[in-house]
Amino acid sequence: MVMPVKDLTGLTFGYLTVLERKGSTKNKNATWSCRCICGNKVVRIGSNLHNRLKRPGNASCGCAHGEAILEGRERSGLPHHGMSKSRPFRIWSGMIARCSNPKNKDFANYGGRGISITDTWKNSFNSFWEDMALGYQENLTLDRLDNMEGYSKQNCRWATVSEQSNNTRANQWINTPTGMMTVEQAARFYKIKSVTLHARIFRYKWEESRWFKQPIKKKEKFMML
């Protein structure tokens, strides 16, 4: 009896993330199309992915051989761009972790609420750096212009810490029955906890008419703790 092949799609082995089943070898071993953290695509035999510690060459496309862990994700030098230990690479890796790794401490505020990364950036540091190298400085951080949108060239800039703090959801302007206010101003004016108002607007996406009028339920109060 032929045993069913375990689906490896989406799993990560070393520096490789499995994209899809590719086929089988002459010996009927399942092969898988994988993307390396550097952006290259390769085909690997499933059993070799599982045995990557015994076969280090199967842990990447051949560009890396293992040296560090970032947010629980293995990574190492990428010879073709030479920036694996640079601050921009750490910023890119952190962006990937926040939006893609449920175990990341910041996932709930990013990937958990639908913040995505444009495919070209998610799949390749080179693409990210080609788009964002201009204007980069060591004292600046990656900032999204619209905090409701994801990471892309059109929605990102390099900003100072103070500029970024002024671009939080709390400082976004919203329409209220008494005029335009920031979320924090509206929370104080209508005597509602700002965290509750944030959740109603951004997490639960309530209609504007319910933001301030509907009383806070015990269940909602519990979820806001």
Give the domain ranges of the chain. 12-62, 70-165, 169-223
Q: CA dihedral in degrees (4, 49, 117, 112; nearest 10)?
A: 60
End-to-end CA distance of the chain: 53
Q: Identity (one letter) of the amino acid at 194?
A: S
Rounded to whole angstroms, the Cα distance separating 88 from 30 reads: 37
Rounded to whole angstroms, the Cα distance separating 63 from 40 reads: 9
Rounded to whole angstroms, the Cα distance separating 82 from 93 reads: 15
The closest of 35, 68, 38, 63 to 49, measured between CA atoms, is 35
Divide the 225 residues of the chain into consecutive groups of 10 and give the mean pLDDT of each group.
75 82 89 81 86 59 46 37 76 90 86 90 87 88 85 91 65 79 83 83 85 64 40
- Confidence at residue 75, expressed as pLDDT on a 0 to 100 scale: 37
The closest of 172, 174, 225, 173 to 196, measured between CA atoms, is 225
* Residues ≥6 apart with Cβ < 8 Å to 197: 183, 186, 187, 190, 211
Contact 59, 66 (CB under 8 A): yes
The tokens describing 209, both together, are: 């008419």
Rounded to whole angstroms, the Cα distance separating 112 from 99 reads: 7
